[in-house]
Structure 1
Amino acid sequence: MLDARRLYMLKTVAARGSITAAARSLALTAGAVSQQLAALRNDVGVDLLRPDGRTVALTEAGRVLLEHADRILAAMEEAESAIAAVKGTVGAAATLAALPSTVGAIVAPALGALGSRHPQLTVTCFVTDQAQLRELALGTVDVVLGQRYHHVPDATPRGITVTPLLDDPLLVVTAADQGDGLPVVLRDLAARDLAVPPPTTECGQAVLHGCQRAGFTPVPRYVTADIAAQLTLARAGLATALVPRTAIDPTAPGIRTAPVADHPIQRLLFAATRHTENANPTTAAVVAALRTAAREGRAADPPPAGE
């Protein structure tokens, strides 16, 4: 009989690209993973992996087995969710992956509310912008607070359920004495010193796309994915930044924000979970807290002058 744990190791190796990387994510030694994969190979009687340069790749038999492993592991999670739904109680642990730009306005309030409402629940939060949905599909996290910029087609992986939280526009940020808060025509930013994320990031791509729609390609003075650095440069009067509204503390002194008038750039913030027919009470509680925090935070955030 096939061992589900070994099937999960095969899935992890296929996703990570190497036994070493899979072992690291599983908190095991590479030797331990290799032994379990060797046992799985003996179970099925055919090679499942082959060397591929410095990585490994699935053989044809490995690809076939992985297709079945995905269904087996999904069925096991479905069974666990069904039992949890019958019990109807929120569990003791959950893991959340969240974008750094959402921590202040959404994550912290949501976790605070969860702590009051479900004191037995401990949520481990990974603040990262790297491969969140892949980690969700692999089962290393239970809930993802992610983003999708509106110009990008929806590419949600199969088996993932997405709950929209809010539309989050990028605002033009300047020093307090350099702006009036009125809506800004995006083309006018062509003449300013800009602080923007690298074009390899999702936000950087969105800024580039928006500017090109407005008729120019930005030549930034400062390139950084660190939103705190962008706001510092704007506060010092050294640059104009384009920053998601959710990432800006509306009470922060020394800056002024304004909406984009003609070619808005905005992202959808969403909560994602693995799809099950029966909602798991624990992940449902986390998603509900994120939704409430997003709604209350948006309602409490005064719009920029002129919006």
Structure 2
Amino acid sequence: MLDIRRLHMLKTVVARGSITAAAQSLGLTAGAVSQQLAALRREVGVDVLRPDGRTVALTEAGRVLVEHADRIFDAVREAESAVAAVKDTVGAAVTLAALPSTVARVVAPALTALAARHPRLTVTCLVTDQAQLRELSLGTVDVVLGQRYHHMPDATPRGVVAHRLLDDPLLVVTAADRSDGRPVPLRELAAHRLVLPPPDTDCGQAVLHACRLAGLTPSAPYVTADIAAQLALARAGLATALVPRTAIEPTAPGIRTSPVEDRPIHRELFAATRRADTADPTANAVVAALRTVARQ
């Protein structure tokens, strides 16, 4: 019989791109992972991985094995959810992955409310911009507070369900004495020195795409994904920023915000969980707390 732990290691190696990266995420040595994959190869009687430059790739047999492994993992998670539903109790631990821009006004109040309602629940919160939905599909996190931009393709992977939380427009942010707060046509930003997120981030791609649709080639002498840095540059009068509304404290001093008038840029915040026929009470409790804050 195939060892499910070895199947999980195989899937993790493919997702991470190398045995070393997979070992690091699993808290193991690369040698230990290699030994388990060698044992898996003996179990199936054929190579499941092949060298691919500095990384590894699946063989045809490995691809078939991972496809079946996904169904096996789905069945295991379904069984876990079914047992939890029978108990109808929130578990002892849960892991939430969240975007940095959501921490102050969404995550923190949601976790405060969750702690009051379920004091025995321990929440581990991973604040990261990187590949949260992949971590959800790998089983390393239980709930993801993520984002998708309305005019960009939906990249939600198989086996994941996204629960909409709120619509979050990007606002034009300037120094308080540089704007009267009236709506700003996106094309007018051609006259501004901008601070933008890196073009390889979700927000950076969304902003650049919206600018192209408006016939605008933005001038961005400042490039950073750090929203605190973006706001600091705007406050100093050095640049104009485009920042999600939920990432801005309403009472933040020294800045003024304005909506985009003609081509608004919206992101949707969502809480994602693994798809299951039977709901997991623990993940549901986290999603419910996030929804409550979003409604407020």
Secondary structure, counterpart of 1:177 in structure 2: helix
Match of 1:48 in 2: 48
Higher deviation after alignment, 157-166 or 33-42: 33-42
Q: Distance in 2 between matches of 1:144 and 1:192?
A: 35
Give the conservation status (yes or no) of the 8 Å contact 1:271–1:287: yes
Superposed displacement of residue 169, structure 1: 0.3
Task: Give the letter for the 1:164 counterpart.
Answer: R
Superposed displacement of residue 18, structure 1: 1.3
Superposed displacement of residue 73, structure 1: 1.1
Match of 2:182 in 1: 182
Give the conservation status (yes or no) of the 8 Å contact 1:9–1:33: yes
Task: Give the letter for the 1:198 counterpart.
Answer: P
Match of 1:216 in 2: 216
Spell out, residue by residue over 1:230-287, the C-alpha distance to the aligned partner (whole angstroms, 9 max, x if none): 1111111111111100100111111111111111011011010110000000000011
Match of 2:289 in 1: 289
Q: Distance in 2 between matches of 1:62 and 1:238?
A: 53
Spell out, residue by residue over 1:23-63, the C-alpha distance to the aligned partner (whole angstroms, 9 max, x if none): 10100111111111111112112221122222111111111
Q: Does 1:108 align with 2:98?
A: no
Task: Give the letter for the 2:277 counterpart.
Answer: E
Match of 1:144 in 2: 144
Match of 1:233 in 2: 233
Secondary structure, counterpart of 2:110 in structure 1: helix
Superposed displacement of residue 22, structure 1: 0.7
Q: Distance in 1 between matches of 2:80 and 2:187?
A: 53
Q: Distance in 1 between matches of 2:271 and 2:252?
A: 27
Match of 1:93 in 2: 93
Give the conservation status (yes or no) of the 8 Å contact 2:192–2:219: no
Superposed displacement of residue 221, structure 1: 2.5
Superposed displacement of residue 147, structure 1: 0.5
Q: Distance in 2 between matches of 1:45 and 1:213?
A: 54
Superposed displacement of residue 16, structure 1: 1.2
Task: Give the letter for the 1:194 counterpart.
Answer: L
Task: Give the letter for the 1:178 counterpart.
Answer: R
Match of 1:277 in 2: 277
Match of 2:169 in 1: 169
Give the conservation status (yes or no) of the 8 Å contact 1:13–1:22: yes
Secondary structure, counterpart of 1:89 in structure 2: coil
Task: Give the letter for the 1:250 counterpart.
Answer: P
Secondary structure, counterpart of 2:24 in structure 1: helix
Match of 1:299 in 2: none
Match of 1:305 in 2: none
Match of 2:207 in 1: 207
Superposed displacement of residue 87, structure 1: 0.5
Secondary structure, counterpart of 1:184 in structure 2: coil
Q: TM-score, normalised by structure 2?
A: 0.98
Match of 2:58 in 1: 58
Task: Give the letter for the 2:121 counterpart.
Answer: L
Q: Distance in 2 between matches of 1:201 and 1:11?
A: 25
Unaligned runs of 5+ in 2: none
Count of equivalent residues = 296
Higher deviation after alignment, 261-270 or 34-43: 34-43
Give the conservation status (yes or no) of the 8 Å contact 1:105–1:294: no
Secondary structure, counterpart of 1:114 in structure 2: helix
Task: Give the letter for the 2:184 counterpart.
Answer: V
Match of 1:266 in 2: 266
Give the conservation status (yes or no) of the 8 Å contact 1:196–1:223: yes
Superposed displacement of residue 186, structure 1: 1.3
Unaligned runs of 5+ in 1: 297-307
Superposed displacement of residue 155, structure 1: 2.1
Q: TM-score, normalised by structure 1?
A: 0.94
Task: Give the letter for the 1:42 counterpart.
Answer: R
Secondary structure, counterpart of 2:188 in structure 1: helix
